[in-house]
Amino acid sequence: MPNIPVTTWSLEQTAPTDLLPAAAPDGDVRIVRAEVPSPEFSRFLYASVGGDIRWIDRLGWTYAQWEEHLNRPGVETWVAYDRGTPAGYVELEPQDDGVVEIVYFGLIPGFRGRRIGGHLLSYGAARAWDLADRWPGLTDTKRVWLHTCSLDGEHAMANYQRRGFTLFDTKVEEQPQVTAPGPWPGAHPA
């Protein structure tokens, strides 16, 4: 399998006032925290959102690995629902010294292009800023960061920047070219 160059951009917000919220989309779109850690549901979201954009790092996780990760204090999954159907998610993970990473964010392919992503990212970033309010013992958030790469959706970087995230690092690395596994073959037309 040949290697390809992959550019990874890291972006951050350093104050809650950096957040530039998107308008809520039309229709019945709700964002709800998945309060019961569920490896099955989290793996469904991960594979469904990231299958066509080469998210593969967690595909080999065991049930126990998913469970251990999801039960860490402060790890939260916020799910966007369009008329009751999961449309996408944002996963938050606290780190040291008041830093919160938006570890995963995205929409299931059939829900992209419907103005849900900006709203979900805005909501997720706001929840990163108030994470310590829900988790006694966590340090107040001082910085929210995320990364995106050249394999992600074509509108990802622009969405992050429109929400007030600023670039702080860029790396280019050779990675093996991976065929997007998808949640299953033919799940969504390319």
CA 53, 77, 142, 163: dihedral to nearest 10 degrees?
50
pLDDT > 70: what percent of the chain?
93
Of the pLDDT bands very low, low, confident and very high (cuts 50, 70, 90), residue 183 is low
Question: Quick one: residue 137, left, alpha or beta (phi over 0 = left, psi -120 to 50 = alpha)?
Answer: left
Comparing CA positions, the residue from 55, 60, 65, 121 lying closest to residue 92 is 121
N-term to C-term CA, the chain: 22
Q: Is 34 helix (H, G, I), strand (E, B) or coil?
A: coil
Query: Is the dihedral angle over the CA atoms 170, 110, 115, 99 positive or is it negative?
Result: negative
Question: What pLDDT sits at residue 55?
Answer: 85
Cα angle at 52 between 93 and 155, to 5 degrees?
70
> How far is it, in rounded angstroms, from Cα 97 to Cα 138?
9
Question: What pLDDT sits at residue 73?
Answer: 97
Question: What pLDDT sits at residue 181?
Answer: 62
Q: What is the average pLDDT across 65-93? A: 98
Cα angle at 57 between 115 and 177, to 5 degrees?
90
Query: What residue type is assigned to position 164 of the chain?
Result: G
User: What mean pLDDT is reported for the chain?
Assistant: 92
Model pLDDT for residues 20-75, shown as the tens digit of each residue: 999 999 999 999 999 999 999 999 999 999 988 878 889 889 999 999 999 999 99
Domains of the chain by start residue, with CATH: 3-176 (3.40.630.30)
Of the pLDDT bands very low, low, confident and very high (cuts 50, 70, 90), residue 177 is confident
Question: What pLDDT sits at residue 90?
Answer: 98
Question: What pLDDT sits at residue 184?
Answer: 59
> How far is it, in rounded angstroms, from Cα 2 to Cα 134?
45
Residues 108/86, Cβ–Cβ less than 8 Å: yes
pTM above 0.95, yes or no: no
